[in-house]
Structure 1
Amino acid sequence: MNLLIIIPAFLVAIGILVTVHEFGHFWVARKLGVKVLRFSVGFGKPLWRRVSNDADQIEYVVAALPFGGYVKMLDERECEEGCEIPEKDLPRAFNRQALWKRAAIVVAGPVANFLLAILIYAMVNMIGQDAMRPYVDVVKDSPMATAGFQPGEEVTAINGIATASWEDMRMLLIDEYLKSPQLLFSVKTTDGSALQRQLDLSKVAMFDEEAGALDKLGLNPWLPPYDVVVDAVLPDTPAAQAGLQAQDKILQIDDLKPTGRRAFIEHVQQHADQPVVLTVERNGNSQTLTVTPRINPASGVETATIGAQLASPPASLREQVYFTQSYGVVESLWRGMQKTWQMSVVTLKLMGRMLTGDVSLKNISGPVTIAQYAGVTASIGFTVYLGFLAIVSVSLGVLNLLPIPMLDGGHLFYYLIEWIKGSPVSAETEAVGFRVGMAIIGGLMVLALYNDVTRLLN
């Protein structure tokens, strides 16, 4: 991935998400009469600075380190020794505000992130985006195959909730699985019949590894049958040694006549270090080649390959499988709210299951992985990049609401204690909480960066 795409896409994403979050705090503070001293996007040395012309003379800053931001409000507790706050400004100090006002200012940041996600999802729904119909392909001897699913069946609902696209089905499957491992699928068979299939996932740990939750079910998107054509052959690989060439059409591999790339790849992966016989069509003539799939440890891939790149499915299949998913203004907004709520709940449940060990800590991502996804989605298209922004915005909102000191949720937890006992927590308690919060956040950052580096090395 080109750094000329990754870096700008990442900086734009972080800039938007941080600005929106901090603007939530800023806007509510101003509306409730609290004096704001500084609005900063980023930390460290200011790269750009401007002071407002009004009486408050608010300092607006864009700083060098883009990983966050802050809104500095007038607060007597932060007044250093020797400083004096004018008497007329004391009623506007944050620490002198009623409990509900302070809570409203703190919660406004995460709420702004959720509102941004709603608007983005609504915008994507109104613009329209390419979507795959929820046709399923199943892997042999997988939970999906055991449940009776057949290639080409269309999932119309899960537990009675309709699915319009592959993405809708994927998210709904995860959401319903986190509620109960017993799932009831409504499907339409290839002959148009309506059936229901019961999928029992009670013995499937979908998230105990970094990725591949749907792979564990044996669930893949289905495409109609098409010719398997070799696009390129890598040098010094089993395919090259066997004489396979670009533009060869794979007619048969052993006794299997592949109807698409996935069937061919799965057969290869199941025959590591075992010779397989390829029947190919080249220049109108049929030829037979013998090739032995190998596992290449240097590639970081633990499955067998032959070193041949296969051509993408023909564009003519798009009309059958792909469609433009779009809605009107009202329905788009409603769907935006539903999707934001669904993503928030799923994110929170997955975080909870990390504490119990049911979800691998390898799923935690840091700035490097986020930057990579920013670049990938930006290179695919505008609506895909918007969807990435919405997902990260939801995650940022949920994360900041966790009851961890230093985060917005930690402040809200202090306010809850204050409301219960009738007085603020002591300065000593806040100091201890700050150190605990620093340790937790620091540990999470180290873990996230470790995961990032591990992904890069692999």
Structure 2
Amino acid sequence: MLGLIQTALTYIIPFLLVLTVVVTIHELGHYWAARACRVAIDQFSIGFGRRIFGWRDRQGVEWRVGWIPLGGYVRFSGDENAASVPDQNNLSAMRQKIEAEQGPGAADRFFHFKPVWQRAFITAAGPLANFVLAIIIFAFLLMSVGETVIPARVAAVQPGSPAAAAGFRVDDVVIEANGQKIDNFFDLQQIIAVRSNAPTQFLVDRGGQVVSLSATPERRVMPDRMGGEQKIGVLGISSPADAGQRTVRRYGPLEAVGAGAERTWRVLSTTVYYLGRIVTGRESADQLGGPLRIAQASGQVAQSGAQGAPDATTMLLGSAVALLGLTAVLSVGIGFMNLLPVPVLDGGHLLFYAYEAVARRPLAAKVQAAGYRVGLALLLGLMLFATWNDLQQLRVFKFLGGLIS
């Protein structure tokens, strides 16, 4: 019993908190955009399933909390038929029915009868809200906590490493990597980690002279913070962190917002680049993680934030700060994933709206319905694959095999 409680406090609760914040902000993006376009809204739900509690506001929107805390949704009036009335004939029949029941002009408040640009705006507002959330969180952390800065100076070069072959020397200061300005060893590590077996250009300051070097990080299997393994690129250089060369940099409000936007873009571009390497076969697909690994990461991040705290208050504060950072990164991932051109995701809807804008009519109902089924199958398949990777990474099968034997 104590073990179950400890597991819930360590992994499940942090995971649900992070997921609930990210999904709620995503749905609020859809909600506020719909309100701005005067779309009739029936319901806003945090969680799925039977309602635990809720209320109805003055606009008639039912706000509710479901008992399954694994997401949420906003339901526009008429959404219950959204998959079956996407073409012109069914929309005409739907308009006639609505106006017969609610009076002339009533259909104009329904999502399906808004101009295509408004529907696209409402759809894109969810992922956009995720990116805005990430910027706000990063900016808040940079103002309040600051960032640890370790000079991008080479403290040591491993013999026989890609860095040694490329000509890196001790005391070289890396000022640019793969076209990106570098002023922190952490940033350099992130670039190297996702560029295994990819030739990369570096600019280093060597005694006041700028020297250009080309190196190819090699892929190595390294332990991660979650107790599993990860395949990342390694150059073979050490940072001066062990010598105590680190400072804390804090930002002012405007500077923090700019830096938050830059970090959000960096996370997004790195995600796109890494997924591109997986699709093209240059990176192993077993690195894709799913909900189990996110839950484990949430627990580990919360623990690392609380580590070394002198009292319970400081421990909770440290965990909260660490989880905020994870929330920002996950929010970028959720925003990007929803923009993929897969039916049932926001990106798939935007694809259909783009066709409608060009052809001046909605895509045929049969085609959209088939697209939704294919998209759902792809999404479920990806989730199953990612969950399988989670089980492999967490060594669940080895554990079960040990129990059986």
TM-score range, shorter chain: 0.7 to 0.9
| 2:325 equivalent to 1:384 | no
| Inter-CA distance 205–165: structure 2 relative to 1 (3 Å threshold) | same
Structure 1 match to 2:128:
111
Structure 2 match to 1:130:
148
Deviation at 1:350, TM superposition (A): 1.9
**Cα offsets for 1:293-312 (capped at 9, x unmatched):** xxxxxxxxxxxxxxxxxxxx
Deviation at 1:206, TM superposition (A): 8.0
Deviation at 1:218, TM superposition (A): 2.3
Structure 2 match to 1:148:
167
Deviation at 1:10, TM superposition (A): 1.0
- Unaligned runs of 5+ residues in structure 2 are 85-92, 224-228, 306-317, 397-405
User: Quick one: distance in 2 between partners of 1:40 and 1:47?
Assistant: 11
The one-letter code sitting in structure 1 at the alignment partner of 2:52 is: L
| Inter-CA distance 184–131: structure 2 relative to 1 (3 Å threshold) | closer
CA contact (8 A) 2:151 2:240 kept: no
Structure 2 match to 1:328:
252
| Inter-CA distance 199–385: structure 2 relative to 1 (3 Å threshold) | farther
Deviation at 1:384, TM superposition (A): 3.1
User: Quick one: distance in 2 between partners of 1:11 and 1:200?
Assistant: 41
User: Quick one: distance in 1 between partners of 2:348 and 2:250?
Assistant: 39
Structure 2 match to 1:375:
299
User: Quick one: distance in 1 between partners of 2:79 and 2:297?
Assistant: 42
Structure 2 match to 1:38:
43
Structure 1 match to 2:270:
346
Deviation at 1:161, TM superposition (A): 4.1
Deviation at 1:27, TM superposition (A): 0.3
CA contact (8 A) 2:150 2:241 kept: no
| Inter-CA distance 114–414: structure 2 relative to 1 (3 Å threshold) | same
- Provide the aligned C-alpha RMSD in A: 3.0
User: Quick one: distance in 2 between partners of 1:204 and 1:428?
Assistant: 49
CA contact (8 A) 1:148 1:197 kept: no
Deviation at 1:15, TM superposition (A): 1.1
Deviation at 1:170, TM superposition (A): 2.6
The one-letter code sitting in structure 2 at the alignment partner of 1:426 is: A
The structure with the greater share of residues assigned to helix is 2
Structure 2 match to 1:436:
374
The one-letter code sitting in structure 2 at the alignment partner of 1:169 is: L
**Cα offsets for 1:172-210 (capped at 9, x unmatched):** 4568x59x733123145xxx6555251232x85689x97
Match of 2:370, SS state, is helix
**Cα offsets for 1:398-454 (capped at 9, x unmatched):** 100000000000000000111111100121111101110111001111011101111
The one-letter code sitting in structure 2 at the alignment partner of 1:57 is: G
Structure 2 match to 1:214:
233
Deviation at 1:337, TM superposition (A): 1.2
- Unaligned runs of 5+ residues in structure 1 are 225-316
User: Quick one: distance in 2 between partners of 1:71 and 1:323?
Assistant: 44
User: Quick one: distance in 2 between partners of 1:156 and 1:434?
Assistant: 47
Structure 2 match to 1:102:
119
Deviation at 1:13, TM superposition (A): 0.5
- State which of 190, 194, 210 in structure 2 corresponds to 1:171: 190
Match of 2:230, SS state, is coil
- Structure-to-structure mapping, 1:32-431, within 5 angstroms: 32-52=37-57, 54=58, 56-75=59-78, 78=81, 86-87=102-103, 89-127=106-144, 128-136=146-154, 137-151=156-170, 153-158=172-177, 161-173=180-192, 181-187=199-205, 194-201=209-216, 204=218, 211-215=230-234, 217-224=235-242, 317=243, 320-379=244-303, 380=305, 381=318, 382-431=320-369
Deviation at 1:118, TM superposition (A): 0.8
| Inter-CA distance 135–66: structure 2 relative to 1 (3 Å threshold) | farther
| 2:33 equivalent to 1:28 | yes
User: Quick one: distance in 1 between partners of 2:42 and 2:288?
Assistant: 35
User: Quick one: distance in 1 between partners of 2:230 and 2:157?
Assistant: 18
CA contact (8 A) 2:134 2:329 kept: yes
**Cα offsets for 1:211-255 (capped at 9, x unmatched):** 34233x22443445xxxxxxxxxxxxxxxxxxxxxxxxxxxxxxx
CA contact (8 A) 1:76 1:93 kept: no
Match of 2:363, SS state, is coil
User: Quick one: distance in 2 between partners of 1:77 and 1:425?
Assistant: 19
The one-letter code sitting in structure 2 at the alignment partner of 1:133 is: P
User: Quick one: distance in 1 between partners of 2:171 and 2:38?
Assistant: 60
CA contact (8 A) 2:172 2:204 kept: no
- Percent of pairs identical after alignment? 33
| Inter-CA distance 356–76: structure 2 relative to 1 (3 Å threshold) | closer
Deviation at 1:348, TM superposition (A): 1.5
Structure 2 match to 1:14:
19
TM-score by length of 1: 0.71
User: Quick one: distance in 1 between partners of 2:149 and 2:40?
Assistant: 47
Deviation at 1:456, TM superposition (A): 1.3
| Inter-CA distance 63–76: structure 2 relative to 1 (3 Å threshold) | closer
| Inter-CA distance 421–335: structure 2 relative to 1 (3 Å threshold) | same
The alignment of Structure 1 onto Structure 2 pairs a total of residues equal to: 355
User: Quick one: distance in 2 between partners of 1:369 and 1:159?
Assistant: 29
